[in-house]
């Protein structure tokens, strides 16, 4: 039997879903030594842990004959950190315990709480929810945990990171002392260990994460690009892979909105997923991906956990993850249930070392590659196009009639060329990217100057961040004092006590002359503006302290070789205060 120690009714449900044998974490929770005990389980994402704790709960939910226990209160409670993960867990348990007739209630933020309370009154055997909503139902008396036999904390480390400690403690304190507690956590920080000691008894530790933390079914790729060409690299990646479903991760909601709009404009079937979307909008976006109406999802890290799309084969980290754990969970949306997937990190040139350090910390071996070029994409397109057009298709009489009419009017070559052109027109065009060479990167950096600012002169002001310098009042001040327009002012570099800015060399003399004439004006005349003797970078380098080490005598031979006698250790002279610079504020905005 592929699943030992499992009631037949659950084995039938697993067979119907195509489960041939248990994954390592599923086999571990079904082992005889784990039966009936509290568990602390560490398993990588996509390893089947939801089905694992679903099977582990069977001893508390099912009778000896395999029938379902009948109770007025919930028998099992699963707590998850996010709405998406809770809904995913609920769907898994519905089919796993469906033949047993179990009722599953879901309680998550963003849903109608009154509808959830009605569902709780119907007497579900299993309740799945997020900590905040479960605590709310508990305090309102809608959720009765006195008959609970099993509680599962899924992604416990994430719940503590999100600040749900008080909610979890209130929920666990409302459960019976003799309950069984299953704690699933990718990591074991001190806070998780403390929670386990407080609420578990003689817990069995199970870990299926080896020394190589990288997911074995995910191929990691990393590629460096110009910071200005990140969106172009995304377009080329999507066109190169043509994945059935792809997920793109951004750091902020604003970046999700911008990238989503860009891809829509380019012709991609794309949806967005972030914290600003309601639960209904999130469900619609995910359903569009499952129905193949959309092939690309742009998301924040809200989708890094709890999203399970069977066809997802490509994950793109458009913006670098904040840490190794986020990298793991984002990438873990693909390569699930034994399927292969690809995770690609798009790395701006200046941040390669940081990403290399993150990959080392996560013990992930990523292959560094060049971004797909337009020629690479066209070469793939030709192969895909031939395969699609040569595939057998079913036609009806009307199709045959139109085809015959076309062949009467045009040659077969013209008809085939028109068909190829129609297919090509539906494909978004690839982008031309800067070659990944030091020479090309240097040339691109030089070409990023604004038109008219190829030859500039640096000027400086004697105010900086400590004097509340801000471009909103610096720009009007420079225009008034120098008799120039905003478009004639280039880059502005605000330092702690001074500000540097660029002026085209062609107007630098006229600008300096106007500054001299307006130096005594009441509006900003107390701010010194003058040509800078060096660039901001050179000035910063010159300000670095270069104090030499005092000369000392031979090691162990007494005092240093200076002529000033040392007084007693406690008789230090008076400290000289640093001269304070007058605090200036910019003029108020008019």
Tell me what pLDDT residue 448 has. Answer: 55
Tell me what pLDDT residue 569 has. Answer: 42
DSSP labels, 258-325: HHHHHHHHHT--EEEE-TTS-HHHHHHHHHHHHTTS--EEEE-GGGSSS---TTEEEEEESS--SSHH
Question: How many Å apart are CA 186 and CA 43, to the nearest integer?
Answer: 6
Nearest one of 213, 220, 214 to 342, comparing CA atoms: 220
Query: Tokens 């956990």 correspond to what residue?
Result: 305
Tell me what pLDDT residue 170 has. Answer: 93
Q: What angle do CA 119, 122, 124 make, to 5 degrees?
A: 80
Q: What angle do CA 250, 253, 259 make, to 5 degrees?
A: 55
Question: How many Å apart are CA 246 and CA 250, to the nearest integer?
Answer: 13
Nearest one of 310, 332, 308 to 321, comparing CA atoms: 332
Q: How far is CA 28 from CA 3, 4, 34, 117, 183, in A?
A: 11, 11, 7, 36, 14
Nearest one of 413, 429, 419, 489 to 453, comparing CA atoms: 489
Tokens standing for 67? 């029938």
Residue pair 298/259 in contact (Cβ under 8 Å)? The answer is yes
Nearest one of 489, 486, 484, 491 to 448, comparing CA atoms: 491
pTM for this prediction: 0.59
Question: How many Å apart are CA 160 and CA 547, to the nearest integer?
Answer: 48
Tell me what pLDDT residue 572 has. Answer: 41
Question: How many Å apart are CA 590 and CA 587, to the nearest integer?
Answer: 9
CA atoms within 13 A on the CB side of 209: 20
Residue 529 CA, chain-centre distance (Å), reads: 44
Tell me what pLDDT residue 272 has. Answer: 93
- Residue 375: which residues within 8 A CB-CB, separation 6 or more? none
Residue pair 30/4 in contact (Cβ under 8 Å)? The answer is yes
DSSP labels, 389-418: HHS-----HHHHHHHHHHHHHS-HHHHHHH
Tell me what pLDDT residue 215 has. Answer: 56
Residue pair 112/133 in contact (Cβ under 8 Å)? The answer is no
Q: What is the mean pLDDT of each run of 10 residues along the chain (590 residues)?
A: 75 85 87 89 77 90 77 90 88 90 90 91 92 94 93 87 87 92 81 86 81 65 90 94 93 91 92 85 88 92 75 93 84 78 92 90 89 91 86 85 88 88 84 72 58 83 86 87 88 88 91 87 77 81 57 46 42 41 44
Domains of the chain, start order: 8-207 (3.40.50.300), 218-373 (3.40.50.300), 456-540 (3.30.70.330)
Query: Tokens 């193949």 correspond to what residue?
Result: 292
Q: What angle do CA 174, 177, 183 make, to 5 degrees?
A: 80
Tell me what pLDDT residue 96 has. Answer: 92
Nearest one of 100, 70, 76 to 89, comparing CA atoms: 76
Nearest one of 182, 257, 256, 230 to 349, comparing CA atoms: 230
Tell me what pLDDT residue 566 has. Answer: 43
Question: How many Å apart are CA 159 and CA 162, to the nearest integer?
Answer: 5
SS3 assignment, position 546: coil
Question: How many Å apart are CA 344 and CA 283, to the nearest integer?
Answer: 26
Question: How many Å apart are CA 125 and CA 75, to the nearest integer?
Answer: 5
């Amino acid at each position: 039997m592929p699943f030992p120690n499992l009631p037949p009714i659950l084995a039938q449900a697993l067979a119907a879903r195509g489960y041939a044998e248990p994954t390592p974490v599923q086999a571990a929770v079904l082992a005889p030594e784990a039966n009936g005990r509290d568990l602390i389980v560490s398993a990588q994402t996509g390893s089947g842990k939801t089905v694992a704790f679903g099977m582990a709960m069977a001893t508390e939910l099912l009778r000896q004959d395999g029938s379902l226990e009948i109770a007025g209160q919930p028998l099992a409670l699963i707590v998850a950190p996010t709405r998406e993960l809770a809904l995913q867990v609920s769907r898994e348990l519905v089919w796993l315990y469906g033949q047993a007739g179990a009722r599953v209630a879901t309680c998550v933020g963003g849903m109608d709480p009154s509808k959830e309370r009605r569902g709780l009154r119907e007497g579900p055997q299993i309740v799945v929810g997020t900590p905040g909503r479960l605590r709310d139902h508990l305090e309102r008396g809608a959720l009765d945990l006195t008959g609970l036999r099993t509680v599962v904390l899924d992604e416990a480390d994430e719940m503590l990171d999100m600040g749900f400690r008080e909610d979890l403690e209130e929920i666990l304190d409302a459960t019976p002392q003799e309950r069984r507690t299953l704690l699933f956590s990718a990591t074991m920080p001190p806070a998780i260990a403390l929670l386990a000691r407080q609420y578990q008894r003689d817990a069995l530790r199970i870990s299926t994460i080896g020394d190589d933390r990288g997911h074995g079914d995910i191929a990691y790729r990393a590629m460096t690009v110009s910071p200005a060409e990140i969106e172009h690299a995304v377009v080329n990646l999507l066109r190169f892979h043509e994945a059935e479903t792809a997920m793109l991760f951004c750091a902020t909601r604003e970046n999700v909105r911008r990238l989503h709009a860009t891809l829509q404009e380019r012709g991609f079937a794309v949806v967005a997923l972030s914290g600003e979307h309601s639960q209904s909008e999130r469900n619609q976006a995910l359903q569009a991906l499952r129905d193949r109406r959309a092939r690309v999802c742009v998301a924040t890290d809200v989708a890094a956990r709890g999203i399970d799309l069977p066809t997802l084969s490509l994950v793109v980290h458009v913006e670098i993850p904040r840490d190794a754990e986020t990298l793991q969970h984002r990438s873990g949306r693909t390569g699930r249930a034994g399927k292969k997937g690809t995770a690609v990190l798009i790395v701006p040139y200046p941040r390669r070392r940081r990403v290399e350090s993150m990959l080392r910390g996560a013990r992930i071996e990523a292959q560094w590659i060049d971004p797909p070029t337009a020629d690479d994409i066209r070469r793939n397109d030709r192969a895909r196009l031939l395969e699609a057009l040569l595939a057998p298709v079913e036609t009806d009489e009307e199709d045959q009639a139109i085809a015959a009419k076309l062949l009467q009017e045009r040659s077969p070559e013209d008809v085939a060329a028109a068909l190829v052109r129609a297919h090509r027109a539906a494909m978004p065009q690839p982008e031309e990217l800067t070659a990944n060479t030091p020479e090309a990167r240097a040339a691109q950096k030089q070409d990023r100057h604004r038109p008219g600012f190829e030859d500039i002169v640096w000027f400086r002001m004697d105010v900086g961040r400590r004097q509340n310098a801000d471009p909103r009042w610096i720009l009007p001040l420079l225009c008034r004092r120098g008799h120039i327009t905003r478009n004639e002012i280039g880059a502005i570099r605000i330092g702690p006590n001074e500000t540097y800015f660029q002026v085209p060399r062609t107007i630098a003399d006229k600008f300096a002359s106007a500054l001299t004439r307006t130096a005594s004006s009441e509006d900003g005349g107390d701010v010194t503006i003058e040509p800078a003797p060096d660039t901001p970078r050179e000035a910063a380098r010159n300000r670095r302290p270069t104090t030499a080490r005092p000369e000392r005598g031979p090691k162990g031979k007494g005092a240093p070789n200076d002529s000033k006698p040392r007084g007693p250790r406690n008789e230090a002279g008076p400290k000289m205060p640093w001269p304070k610079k007058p605090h200036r504020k910019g003029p108020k905005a008019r």
